[in-house]
Each structure stands twice: as C-alpha cells, then as structure tokens.
Amino acid sequence: MNILKKNHTKCLTRLSLNNYGWGKNTPLRWSNFGKWGLQITMRSLLIVLLISLPSLVFGKDIVGTGWVLYEDDGHKTIVLFEKDGTLTFQNMISPSGNEGDVYSREIDTWTINGDVVVLSFTNGFQLFSLTINNRGDSMTGTSINQKGEVRKVKGRLIE
C-alpha cells in the first residue's frame, strides 16, 4: 500500500487507502471516518477536558503569590510561586543552615492540581504536598526528603 504519492504537497488528498474502501484520490475528511472518527474526536476532547478542567475550575491561581511555610521541625521559609513553574525562596529559620540565602533555580519547581500544590526542592530532594483551603489563604500538608524524614507543614499567604 503506497501511503504517500510523490507529490507531497497534496498528501492529505493523495492517500491511497484502497484497502479501506476509498478510491485512489479520496480526500481525507472527518466524515470519511464515520462513527470511528467521531469516537476519536470525542475521546480526544474528553482527555483534554479531564486534564485541563481540574486546574481551570478547581485550581487556585497562586502564580506570583508569596507564602510563609512553617515546618514542625522549626524551618520557616518564604516561597514565591513564579509564572514558569519555578520557586524563589528564602530560608528565614533553618536549623540545618543557609538562613537568609535566597534561591531561584530551575531545580526548585511547583505544580498545582485542583487545591493540591506540590513543591519540589533541589530536583526532588525534598517534596511538599500541600492543600490550599477554600479561602485560598492557607495551606497544610506534609513534606518528605530523600532520607525519609516526614514533617508537617503549614503555610499562610503573604498579603
């Protein structure tokens, strides 16, 4: 079966699909697919909606906002959610050191799905899973690092 003829500029109308009951120069149209084409179209639309709907309808817009995160081991961090999905943060209180340092790196990222925010610091060395409340002014959840240390975390929006 010759899929494309030598004239590539008209490849959509020059498909040879004789094995499927179409003539040699039958134009490729959605109507030619009948029920099968409609199923593909509906399935594609459903997939797109399922992926994007949670963030469109339920997602909180946290881009450009600043938050103070309090971990139960004493860490206090200011986090800014950048438009490109990265984080800028400053360790205000850090029992492990680096107090006052400001970081803005591609290896520190965030995502949101509905009201759940996931923060990843240093390529996943430490992960946070936080749920934003209905008012959008506080978060609660946990963090875990690669050593397996789990901490409770609370955050509040900087206004």
Give a yes or no: residue 2 inside a domain: no
Count of domains for the chain: 2
For 116-127, what is each residue's pLDDT tens digit? 999 999 999 999
Q: How many CA atoms lie within 13 A of 65 on its CB side?
A: 19
Residue 4 has pLDDT above 50, yes or no: no
For 20-69, what is each residue's pLDDT tens digit? 444 555 454 545 445 545 455 555 545 554 544 444 434 468 999 999 99
Residue 88 has pLDDT above 90, yes or no: yes
Backbone angles phi, psi at 132, to 5 degrees: -85, 140
Q: 63: which residues sit within 8 A by CB, 6+ positions away? A: 81, 82, 83
Give a yes or no: residue 108 inside a domain: yes
Confidence (pLDDT) at 96:
79
Give a yes or no: residue 138 inside a domain: yes
Residue 113 has pLDDT above 70, yes or no: yes
The more confident residue out of 50 and 145 is 145
Residues 27, 72, single domain; the answer is no
Confidence (pLDDT) at 27:
52
Residues 127, 147, single domain; the answer is yes
Q: 136: which residues sit within 8 A by CB, 6+ positions away? A: 60, 62, 157
For residue 92, the domain's CATH number is 2.40.128.20
Q: What range defines the domain where residue 41 resides?
A: 8-58
Amino acid at 150: V
Confidence (pLDDT) at 61:
87
Give a yes or no: residue 3 inside a domain: no
| Element of type H or E holding 142 | strand 138-145
Task: pLDDT band for 140, please (50, 70, 90 cuts).
Answer: very high
Residues 77, 22, single domain; the answer is no
Distance CA 31, CA 103 (A): 54
Residues listed for the chain: 159
